[in-house]
Amino acid sequence: AATTALADYYQQQATAKPASMDAFWMPFTANKQFKAAPRLLASASGMHYRDVDGREILDACAGLWCVNAGHARPRIVEAVKRQIETLDFAPNFSMSSPLPFVLAQRLAELSPGDLNHVFFTNSGSESVDSALKIALAYHRARGDGQRTRLIGREKAYHGVGFGGISVGGLPNNRKWFGPLLPGTDHLRHTLDIQRNAFSQGLPAHGLELAEDLERLVALHDASTIAAVIIEPISGSAGVILPPDGYLQRIRQICDKHGILLIFDEVITGFGRVGKAFAAQRVGVTPDIITAAKGLSNGCVPMGAVLVSERIHQAFAQGADNAIDLFHGYTYSGHPLACAAALATLDTYAEENLFEKAIELGDYWQQAIHSLKGLPNVIDIRNYGLIGAIEFAPRDGAPGTRGFDVFNDAFHKGGMLTRVTGDVIALSPPLIIEKTHIDQIFERLADIIRGVA
C-alpha cells in the first residue's frame, strides 16, 4: 500500500492533499490548530515554494534557516542523484568512503583559525551533543577530568538532545523533560529592548553581561568548568544579537581560565552573516564550531563539529590501535549528505553567496528598519542577512500577535517567515535580490497594519 501511495502522490504532481492528517505528529507545532488550517508546501525552486493549492510562496526564511543557496539548485540535485546511483551508503566505523574526507578538508579550509578536524553528524542537535561530549572527553584525555561543568545561556537554542536542552535556555524546551544534565549553568541572555531597541547591527549596550562568566568561574572554580556554548546570534529565540565586544570578552575569559569556547553556528554558518562562519565576521575564534543546516543546503540532513588542532591532538595520543572517540552515528559522513554538501559549497563559492550578506546588508538593514513606527512594533534587529521584528504581546496572550503575522504572511502575503512568541524572524536564501527584499517588507508592512 505504501508504494502505491507514493506513486499516486507523484502522479498528482506532488500537489495532492493527504487523505488523513491524523497520523503525522508534527514537531514543534500546535497540531490541533495546524490541522484545522494547514500550510502545506508542494514544491520549491530558487527563492520560492509553491503550496498544494498552487500559490507561490516567497521564502523569507530559507526554509528553516537552512536553504542558503536557494531551492532545488541543479548542481546540488545532480550531485545527490549521481551519488545515490553510485554509492548509496557506506559504514564509517573503521571503514569509510572518499567523500567525507574530501568534505572535511573543504570545511577545514573554510573554518577560522586551526579548526581543521571535522566530526560528521546528521543535525544541529547531534552536532551540539557531540560537541559537548568532545569537550568533556578532551579534558579527561588531558588528565583534567574534573572539568565537567557546561555553561550555556538563557534563551539559547541548542537543539533538542538532552545535552542541548540542558545548556539551552528556552523554558518550554526544558521544563517537560525532568532534571536534565547535572552541572550546567547559564549566563544571562543579551536581549535588552529597553536600552537597545531598533539598533542597527550589533547593539551598543550589554558588554558587561559577559562578566556573568567570571561570576560563574568565581562560584564554581575554573577547574570544574569544561566549556561554554554560545550562539554568536541566537536564532530560535528571535534573533538576539551579541552586544559589541561581548564575544571577544567571553573569549578572553575562557582563555584566562582554560575553558573551551563552543560557537553553535547551526544558523549563523555558511554565509548568513557574510563569511563562512560568524566567528570570522566578528573576529573571534572559538575552539569548537557546531554546524548543520546550510552545510547541505537543507536537502539531505547533515551536521558537523569542527575542532581545533589542540583538541584533536589530545585524542591522538593513545595507542595506534585505540579508538580515539567512542562516539558516532550510523549516518556520520553519509555519502548522499557529503555529495549534497560538496555541491552546496561549490554553489556558494561559484556564486559568491557568502559575500551577499555583506553586499546586501545595508539594503536589508534599511528595508527592515522601514517597518519602525508600524503598530505594535517594539523592536527591529538585523545583522548580515538575518533579521527580526518584535511585537508587543496582546494583553494576556503573548505569542498571538506574532503568530497572526506569521499566518497572514503565509496565507495572505504568500510568504514564509518564522515565528517564535511575538517575534517574526527572517533569514532568506542568500540568492535573494533587492526586488525580493522590497517584496518582503512591503508585504509585511501591509500585514502588520492588518493585524493591529
Q: What's the rounded Cα separation, in Å, for the pair 326 and 422? A: 42
Q: What's the min distance (Å) between Cβ of 269 and ligand PMP?
A: 9
387, 368 Cβ separation under 8 angstroms: yes
Kindly tell me which of 139 and 158 has the beta carbon lying closer to ligand PMP.
Answer: 158
Rule CB under 6 A: is residue 260 a binding residue for ligand PMP?
Answer: no
Q: What's the rounded Cα separation, in Å, for the pair 337 and 302? A: 6
Kindly tell me which of 121 and 439 has the beta carbon lying closer to ligand PMP.
Answer: 121
Residue 276 CA, distance from chain mean position? 13
From 117-125, 216-224, 330-338, 377-385, span contacting ligand PMP (CB under 6 A): 117-125
Kindly tell me which of 202 and 304 has the beta carbon lying closer to ligand PMP.
Answer: 304
Return the residue of 61, 104, 128, 336 that touches ligand PMP, per CB under 6 A: 128
One-letter amino acid at 133 equals K
Cα–Cα distances in Å, from 441 out to 235, 291, 366?
A: 20, 29, 10
Sign of CA dihedral 330, 335, 336, 341: positive
Rule CB under 6 A: is residue 231 a binding residue for ligand PMP?
Answer: yes
| 305 SS3 class | strand
From 47-55, 118-126, 129-137, 413-421, span contacting ligand PMP (CB under 6 A): 118-126
* Residue 50 burial (CB count, 10 A): 17
Rule CB under 6 A: is residue 262 a binding residue for ligand PMP?
Answer: no
Q: What's the min distance (Å) between Cβ of 263 and ligand PMP?
A: 9
Rule CB under 6 A: is residue 423 a binding residue for ligand PMP?
Answer: no
**How many residues touch ligand PMP (CB under 6 A)?**
14
Rule CB under 6 A: is residue 123 a binding residue for ligand PMP?
Answer: yes
**Which grid coordinates belong to 62?**
530559507
Q: What's the min distance (Å) between Cβ of 158 and ligand PMP?
A: 5
Binding mask 284-303 toward ligand PMP (x if CB under 6 A, else -) reads: --------x-----------
Contacts of 403-408 with C-beta under 8 Å, sequence gap 24+, read 404/451, 405/444, 405/447, 405/448, 405/451, 407/37, 408/447, 408/450, 408/451
| 40 SS3 class | coil
380, 368 Cβ separation under 8 angstroms: yes
* Residue 137 burial (CB count, 10 A): 19
Q: What's the rounded Cα separation, in Å, for the pair 275 and 292? A: 15
From 10-18, 53-61, 177-185, 264-272, span contacting ligand PMP (CB under 6 A): 264-272
358, 274 Cβ separation under 8 angstroms: yes
Q: What's the min distance (Å) between Cβ of 278 and ligand PMP?
A: 11
From 108-116, 124-132, 211-219, 253-261, span contacting ligand PMP (CB under 6 A): 124-132
Rule CB under 6 A: is residue 267 a binding residue for ligand PMP?
Answer: yes
Site residues, ligand PMP (CB under 6 A): 123-125, 128, 157-159, 231, 235-236, 264, 266-267, 292
